[in-house]
A and B are shown apart, each in its own frame.
Chain A
Amino acid sequence: MTTTTEQSSKRLNTAKAMVEAIASEMERDENVFVLGEDVGPYGGIFSSTTGLIDRFGPERVMDTPISETAFIGAAIGAATEGMRPIVELMFVDFFGVCMDQIYNHMAKIHFESGGNVKVPMVLMTAVGGGYSDGAQHSQCLWGTFAHLPGMKVVVPSNPADAAGLMTAAIRDDNPVVFMFHKGVMGLPWMAKNPRSIGPVPDGDHVVEIGKAATPRRGSDVTVVTLSLSVHHALDVAEELAGEGVDVEVIDLRSIVPLDTEAILESVGRTGHLVIVDEDYQSFGLSGEIAARIAESDPTILKSPISRVAVPDVSIPYSRSLEYAALPTRARIKAAILEQVSK
């Protein structure tokens, strides 16, 4: 269910699309407020809150001290009292310092209270590498959050989904971890990804959490991926179309819940699967997808699956090494060609 009651759309980059979605929810519901490091006058290091403080003031857009346990914990407490905080911690790599609040509190309160206490909050953060920011600023780690029960995990790849998923996340009665890749935000100081600017529907645009999208239909092989890798996969698919290989690309959009149906349906048609994941390979998303197929019906596969992920190494600083670790177009293309040759 992708609600599109709206008639028109406007072209925005992903960052602006997120800001617009947050602003309209703040207008709609006075319980929504934003807090985090540099979310005020700076507007978010990755422009996820730009201009909000001018529109809503410092009472509703709160810069915090560098005290993640305290301010994320405070968001949790406010949420249990019926507010709907959106809290940003700028890089997912920093979550180690406050993980207890996240996985023992934010994610468990609803369960431990037997469903009596809700924690309706959004925890947003930037993920991903590709610009030499080193091992402590380039991880994705969505598999880590997805592994721990009790929080939804959404990872948009484009402006329309970022807006629609943000609206859904704010309205959700669960804690939602909203992870945006720096490379899809459309920031002026990052290498340009042409799809980081796109149409965003006007009006009440909601993208249901848990439904994958299929940005490209194809019959030969299915690429299941998310976030920035969607764009790499689409680029490769366009290239391969000229070589007679018809690639289907699935953009997961959320990994908790994971749209297993969409994956099974697609792989059922193509028989070939490449999973592209910018997170570490072992014990993560790619393994989970493979397991779900194995549990459901491994006979839909005409060949063993391929994984293109970070090969269990911290993200290196040096460009030559970083690009050897990341799921690049070249690696994705090689995996697809290998699949269709089997």
Chain B
Amino acid sequence: MEARVQRELYDQMVLIRTYEEAILREYHADKKPVFDIGAGLVPGEMHLSAGQEPVAAGVCAHLTTDDAVTATHRPHHFAIAHGIDLNAMTAEIFGRVDGLGKGRGGHMHLFDPKTHFSCSGIIAEGYPSAAGAALAFKKRGTGQIAVGVTGEGAANQGAFHETLNLASLWKLPAVFIVEDNDWGISVPRSASTCVASNAERAAAYGMPGIRIEDNAVEAVYEAAGHAVERARNGGGPTLIEVHTLRLWGHFEGDAQGYRSDIEGVPGQDPIPTYEATLRSAGVLDDAAVVETQTRATELVESAIAFAKASPEPDPSTVLDYVFA
């Protein structure tokens, strides 16, 4: 693989991780000493994507902001990799007027028409709208594609199956991603389906299904490249499942008492692993690593500062935006 692409994938993953660590810090900063989910600068549920960076980086490297992405309740990594404005996204997470949804949406409800990005807190419900965006692109013949993202838990939901069938039937320019992080909150994959891989399910809908076993960003990049090309060339949709990793809890505050695999997990962090690979390939050295980290930190901290400087919405505007 080209060194330039490797460096881009690495930079993207570092940016995402830096962002998630900063949100983690801000989220917990004022919820101490006793965790109160409704308190603080960033209240409400918070689902972070640490460990899943290879999926977003590998897939979105093939997209432009003209392509659509519909993400899940765990949306930040895809939003960032897809090129969403960090300031506006962060302001939304902080519930401020300069946020993507002017403080109405919150972290699970990021809508950005500029990058055709959206997400939903309802499981599997991003899949149908990915098909819808793909349908619009196909009707207009623009060459744009849509990517739907969901978790392995969501692959047991009706919307997942109905969408795959429809998208295949209509040969839509779409790529469907399943992030298999082994857990649907506290329910392990083994307790939610007898199918070893969701990629097998693609066969039932007459589309290619690929499973990537090792959370390796380059493997995701390769597979997504073929799927995106196929979609753009009128070949129809592809399903790609990546066996990835939820490094932290389902949401912040999740003590993960149910989790049996926790001991070995930090050792599998994909970022240091990839960094080591790139160092031994001569693509990264100390200076490059510092440069990547410095740039990521600057971007993230200025987005956080932007969000904090943005005002809270005026309560008298509560009835705005119900109708167009």
Q: Which positions in A face B, CB cutoff 8 Å?
A: 37-38, 40-42, 45, 63-69, 93-94, 96-97, 130-137, 188-191, 311-314, 316-321, 323-325
Contacts and interface: CB of A to CB of B under 8 A. Distances in A.
B109 A135 contact: yes
B253 interface: yes
Interface of B: 34-39, 43-45, 92, 95-96, 101, 103-109, 120-125, 153-154, 156-159, 184-187, 191-193, 253, 257-258, 312-319, 322
A67 B106 contact: no
A131 B37 contact: yes
A317 B312 contact: no
B185 A321 contact: no
Contacts of B185: 37-38, 42, 45
Contacts of B38: 130-132, 190-191
Contacts of B192: 64-66
The 8 A-B pairs at the shortest CB distance, nearest first, are namely: A131-B38, A317-B106, A318-B95, A318-B103, A132-B43, A42-B186, A132-B44, A324-B315
Contacts of B157: 66-68, 97
Nearest to B108: A134
29 contacts: A37-B184, A38-B185, A42-B258, A66-B154, A66-B187, A97-B157, A97-B159, A131-B44, A132-B38, A133-B44, A134-B105, A134-B108, A134-B121, A136-B108, A137-B108, A137-B121, A191-B38, A312-B322, A316-B103, A316-B318, A317-B92, A317-B107, A318-B312, A318-B313, A319-B43, A319-B95, A320-B312, A321-B95, A321-B103
A132 B156 contact: no
B205 to A, nearest CB: 17
A324 B313 CA distance: 11
Classify the secondary structure of B's interface with A: loop
Contacts of B109: 134-136, 317
Contacts of B159: 97
Given A134-B44, A189-B36, 20 more contacts: A38-B186, A63-B191, A65-B193, A66-B157, A66-B184, A66-B187, A67-B157, A94-B123, A131-B38, A132-B44, A136-B121, A191-B38, A312-B322, A314-B104, A316-B104, A316-B313, A318-B104, A318-B312, A319-B95, A324-B318
A38 B187 contact: yes
A132 B184 contact: no
B53 to A, nearest CB: 24
Contacts of B316: 324
A311 B319 contact: yes
A40 B186 contact: yes
Contacts of B35: 188-189
Nearest to B156: A65
A314 B319 CA distance: 9
Nearest to B258: A41
Contact of B34 (A41, A63, A97, A188): A188
A67 B123 CA distance: 10
A100 B313 CA distance: 37
A341 B72 CA distance: 50
Nearest to B184: A66
Nearest to B101: A317
Contact of A191 (B36, B101, B322): B36
B159 to A, nearest CB: 7
B122 to A, nearest CB: 6
B313 A321 contact: yes
B30 to A, nearest CB: 13
Contacts of A65: 153, 156, 184, 187, 191-193
B37 A190 contact: yes
Contacts of B187: 37-38, 40, 63-66
A291 to B, nearest CB: 24
A314 B121 CA distance: 14
Contacts of B253: 189
A62 B257 CA distance: 18
A313 B109 CA distance: 16
Contacts of B313: 316, 318, 320-321
A67 B158 contact: yes
A317 B108 CA distance: 10
Contacts of B39: 191
A262 B50 CA distance: 54
Contacts of B317: 321
B103 A317 contact: yes
Nearest to A311: B319
